[in-house]
A and B are shown apart, each in its own frame.
Chain A
Amino acid sequence: MGLLEIQRINCFYGNSQVLWDVSLAVNANEIVAVVGSNGAGKTTLLRAISGLHKISGGSISWKGRDIGNTPPHQILESGISQIPEGAGIFPYMTVLENLKIGAYSRKNWKNRFKNLEKVFSLFPELRERRNQLAGTLSGGERQMLGIGKGLMSSPEFLIFDEPSFGLSPKLVLKLLDTISEISKQGVTILLVEQNVHHAMSLSHRVYVLENGRMVKGGDSRTLLEDDYVRRAYLGA
């Protein structure tokens, strides 16, 4: 039984269906990646997990409890934190305020200073810039702030949507290090990536989503050798 189990969910935008019977499982302490081209439905899948998008049919269970169509703030309180594409920061608020928002729920609010210290020790740059408006940060710093904000709720499960988007190759490598560092601290990770090389090198298992359907899934090393994946995503 996985920590997070998604079974045959369907999602719609108005009348058009974007996810078809999508299933996925993530076990404790794993790093799982979902890859796929633009418009494959990756972001919708993540939004459905976090309660931002309604599912029609199928189920999402977290630690054996059904969490399908639960409001986002309750999902977060249950230990699942998502860093959306573009880091989901608030540009007209300071770095410190952004981080505090990550600890908004009552339980986390009490621990905000303790968690703030943890985030600052992971990203010392954020401490220096704590009173600066988040909108003035560079792309890499924004991504750090997004991750820091996500960690302020001491999540057991962290979801990343395109974390490498718009970052320089050097920053991407740093980001991948950070993600595996967070994973080593016992946080389970699900990430969506367009950069298949990165996704496969970082993750234990990979799912391939195409036109709203899961077409393949398996061990990252095995899929690296898979003919179909090599041709479609790795340019081989």
Chain B
Amino acid sequence: MYNLEIILRQAFYGLVLGSNYVLIAAGFSLVWGVVGVMNIAHGEFFMLGAYAAYFILTFLGWNLFLTTIAAMALIFLIGVFFEKMTIDPLRPRKKLDYDMGTLIMTIGISIFLQNLALIVFGPKYKGVPAYFDGMVRLGPIIMSYDRIAIFLVALLLIGILLFLIKHTRIGLALRAVSENPDGAALAGIPIGRVLYFAFGLSASFAGAAGVLLIPIYNVYPTVGGNVILLAFSIVIFGGLGSVKGAIYAGFLIGILESLAVLFISSAWKDVIVFAIVILVLTFRPRGLMGTKEA
């Protein structure tokens, strides 16, 4: 019943999904590590990215790359705006007060954006046709150009993010602030600006995943709810605050989910994924790459 072709094909779908999960979770993890905020509104940036793609594709008809860049720029600015307006004013507070305050604040942002989307865009599911038509045979498997293009763009973005964090001046600042904010301030790093940037960057990567996944999933005002759940499990699985961990865990969960759909049923895929996450955390509470216990 299961031949190799179908399994490989499903595994590749898993990779495509996983690459987008990585975009979502890496940003979520980055904000947790650098800004110290559990951003419950992260899924809403995905939702806004997907709507941005819908409108750009429907009314302007741009190609995948331009759409991704434009949506990311827009969501980046929206992310910076929310950091400056809602998170930044809470910064002078004490640790516990800041943690609780920002958590409640991001829940508020999430509810606000979902309802704003409901009023502005309406409750209907919106979808777009595939970015590219046609299929190609790669060895034993047949893949659509669309999935391949989505996968390549996601990989490119992951590469850019890793390069940015590892090899640029701003990446140095992001890591420094996440390890030791006072030490970073004493070294001359303007903390406030680094936090805006981290938040904007994180939002823009969630937005990019929205752009890339809209041909597969459609967009509606509460789509972010599923996304945040996913981001949560991936980031806890991979290790809180570790972007590298988010990358491994994102791909792993994407593939697991796709294979679960094939071997069991799509209704059971979340059960399978969460069961495996719970199992891993039972034996390794810090997650795959985490340095601290979650």
Contacts and interface: CB of A to CB of B under 8 A. Distances in A.
For B182, B187, B188, B192, the residue with the greatest tally of chain A CB atoms inside 10 Å of its CB is B187
Given A71-B190, A73-B190, A52 B176 contact: no
A220 to B, nearest CB: 27
Interface residues of A, number: 27
Nearest to A107: B188
A129 B225 CA distance: 47
Nearest to B185: A72
Contact of B179 (A81, A93, A109): A93
A159 to B, nearest CB: 9
Contacts of B192: 71
Contacts of B188: 72-73, 76-77, 102, 104-105, 108, 153
A72 B193 CA distance: 13
A50 B188 CA distance: 10
Interface in A119-146: none
Interface string A144-186: 0000010001000000000000000000000000000000000
A88 B176 CA distance: 10
Interface in B191-212: 191-192
What bracket does the count of chain B residues touching chain A fall in?
10 to 19
A201 to B, nearest CB: 27
B172 A101 contact: yes
A42 interface: no
B5 to A, nearest CB: 43
A104 B172 contact: yes
A62 to B, nearest CB: 15
A21 interface: no
A121 B169 CA distance: 24
A82 B186 CA distance: 6
Interface string B161-189: 00000000100110110011011111111
Interface of B: 169, 172-173, 175-176, 179-180, 182-192, 291
19 contacts: A50-B186, A72-B185, A72-B186, A72-B188, A72-B191, A76-B187, A76-B188, A88-B180, A89-B183, A90-B180, A93-B179, A101-B172, A101-B173, A101-B176, A101-B184, A102-B188, A104-B187, A108-B188, A109-B169
